Structure 1
Amino acid sequence: MKKPAYKIAMLGAGNVAWHLAPALEEAGHEIICVYSRNLENAEALAQNLKTARATDFTDFTDFPADLYIIAVKDSVLPELLREAVFPAGSLVAHTSGTQPLSVFETNKNIQGAVFYPLQTFSKNTPVSFRNIPFCLETAHKNAMVLLQKTAESLSEKVYQVNSEDRKILHLAAVFACNFTNHLFGISAEILQQNQLHFEMLQPLVEQTVQKAFAQNPFSVQTGPAIRHDENTIQTQLQFLQNNPGYQQIYELLTRSIQQKS
């Protein structure tokens, strides 16, 4: 059975939109327009699409679509919703992990929804949407059907998740992704400053991730903190003496690990 093809307007031209818009086209949907406050950004994304028109106007009545996807920063979303004009009854979904469905309450003439891909996006890093979880939410039954079909055309992992649970997911993702990536950055910096290669850590990191998802992560914790190896801990803190910020991170994580042991 052929997957449904929808007309979709993409509001935003940042990292999420940069990956999501082409993926939707590849899944058989039509991106009819790309909006950005910076027209050059909208044009750059539209040029990578088949028929999309770039615009920096927030009146979308000339772009009737089955679905309007808002992929902008959380801080920009409420302002954009105040300014935007949609055809009456339009289905409008944001891609935020933290903004509640209630952000649409001031727009009585539209159907608000959430179309949240649980993934980190960088423009120059390819992603495969097949395994990316999509978290959907809306108060409108027919709208959920369209959201579900759209998400399923991209991914094998589609969930209905309410606003409160989505906030919890996002918090957990900050620890698992954003904070972990920052720690990778610290590791890379320490190695590079001492003429060592960050790539040497890759097998260790990959094994750590595999174990974390195969078992309870706390149960497979290793390292000097879990062993209460004070000699190693003090030696490593001494090595970080010229970077008090990294010392604090080291001490905080060491205490947290030991409290869980």
Structure 2
Amino acid sequence: MTPQQALPLRIILLGAGRVANQLGAALVQAAHQVSYVWSRTPASAAALVVHLPGTQVLPDLNLAALPPADVYLVAVPDAAIPEVLAQAQFPAGALVAHTSGTVPLTVFKEVPGIRGGVFYPLQTFSMGRNVNWRTVPLCIEATDAEAEATLLALAGTLSEQAQRVATPQRQAIHVAAVFACNFTNHLLGISHALLQEQQLPLTLLAPLLHETVEKALAFPPFTVQTGPAARHDAPTLARHRTALATYPNWLELYNKLTASIQLQQAKPGLNIEEASEL
């Protein structure tokens, strides 16, 4: 990191969605200056800067040159990243980093004259719900050592888990995260709906959920698989399928997950827990 980029840094944030909202607040809390926010939806940028002291809305990317900054963070949907990079007139030598889990570092090859990087926070973000950034893994990658050092230093002011992660590993992390987070949340949505039918709260499952996650973090998850699919409990499986008969999509998902568990269980070398009432 050069003397001109000593902490704290000047940041321009391109994007005003869920990631940008959380990231902007975290950057300000860490004493960085978020000088401008741009969004494809100007109203979103205007709403965000209200919560960021001293920050202005950047009305247009089609300027002769964007205002100067130490780091330009591109926090837009993955599909929009190439378009934003092509549209923005970055100053020569600018350090530009996207926040995507899947877009490769090579996306910056199409934008000559800048230094590219990745600043990927491994977390799920929702409007109105704050996260503890000190615990959020930040995956860093850059096209040169100086850019990487700057991004690692910036990440270190937000999180205790900032680390270099190359594109193939980051993309694998993202796939794993979709299974762990997005798919799990969908399954919890199904659980919620089934419980609501009986006027029961989802919180009833809280102890079970906590134990499931804690156990999965303590042991290889496949080795502690429980439930009727793992036990090949045909009567229970049949009752569940009957209960799901009016929900064909959920029944199909139940059958596929059951088959996947049993297929995984059949692989040699796995020590699946056999004694489980669940």
- What's the TM-score, normalizing by structure 1? 0.97
Alignment of 1:223-238 (within 5 A): 223-238=227-242
Residues in 2 aligned to 1:56 and 1:232: alpha-carbon distance in whole angstroms: 60
Structure 2 residue corresponding to 1:64, chosen from 68, 75, 86: 68
Whether 2:54 is the aligned partner of 1:51: answer: yes
Query: What is the identity, as a one-letter code, of the residue corresponding to 2:34?
Result: I
CA contact (8 A) 1:115 1:137 kept: yes
Residues in 2 aligned to 1:119 and 1:246: alpha-carbon distance in whole angstroms: 27
Whether 2:170 is the aligned partner of 1:166: answer: yes
Structure 2 residue corresponding to 1:82, chosen from 76, 83, 86: 86
Runs of at least 4 residues of structure 1 off by over 4 A? none
Aligned counterpart, 1:16? 19
CA contact (8 A) 2:117 2:143 kept: yes
Alignment of 1:139-154 (within 5 A): 139-154=143-158
Query: What is the identity, as a one-letter code, of the residue corresponding to 1:43?
Result: A
Structure 2 residue corresponding to 1:256, chosen from 253, 260, 266: 260
Equivalent residue pairs, number: 259
Residues in 2 aligned to 1:32 and 1:124: alpha-carbon distance in whole angstroms: 22
Structure 2 residue corresponding to 1:7, chosen from 5, 10, 17: 10
Give the superposition deviation at 1:28.
1.2
Residues in 1 aligned to 2:147 and 2:66: alpha-carbon distance in whole angstroms: 21
Structure 2 residue corresponding to 1:102, chosen from 96, 106, 112: 106
Please state whether the residue corresponding to 1:49 is helix, strand or coil: coil
Query: What is the identity, as a one-letter code, of the residue corresponding to 2:33?
Result: E
Give the superposition deviation at 1:62.
4.5
Aligned counterpart, 2:268? none
- What's the TM-score, normalizing by structure 2? 0.91
Aligned counterpart, 2:40? 37
Q: Which moved more, 1:58-67 or 1:171-180?
A: 58-67
Gaps of 5+ in 2: 1-5, 266-278
RMSD, aligned CA: 1.1
CA contact (8 A) 1:59 1:86 kept: no
Give the superposition deviation at 1:56.
3.2
Aligned counterpart, 1:125? 129
CA contact (8 A) 2:66 2:88 kept: no
Gaps of 5+ in 1: none
Identical counterparts, % of pairs: 46
Please state whether the residue corresponding to 1:75 is helix, strand or coil: helix
Give the superposition deviation at 1:37.
1.2
Residues in 1 aligned to 2:61 and 2:12: alpha-carbon distance in whole angstroms: 12
Aligned counterpart, 2:179? 175
Give the superposition deviation at 1:194.
2.1
Residues in 2 aligned to 1:62 and 1:208: alpha-carbon distance in whole angstroms: 49
Aligned counterpart, 1:240? 244
Give the superposition deviation at 1:159.
1.2
Residues in 2 aligned to 1:5 and 1:196: alpha-carbon distance in whole angstroms: 50
Give the superposition deviation at 1:59.
3.9
Residues in 1 aligned to 2:31 and 2:256: alpha-carbon distance in whole angstroms: 49
Alignment of 1:206-217 (within 5 A): 206-217=210-221
Residues in 2 aligned to 1:113 and 1:92: alpha-carbon distance in whole angstroms: 6
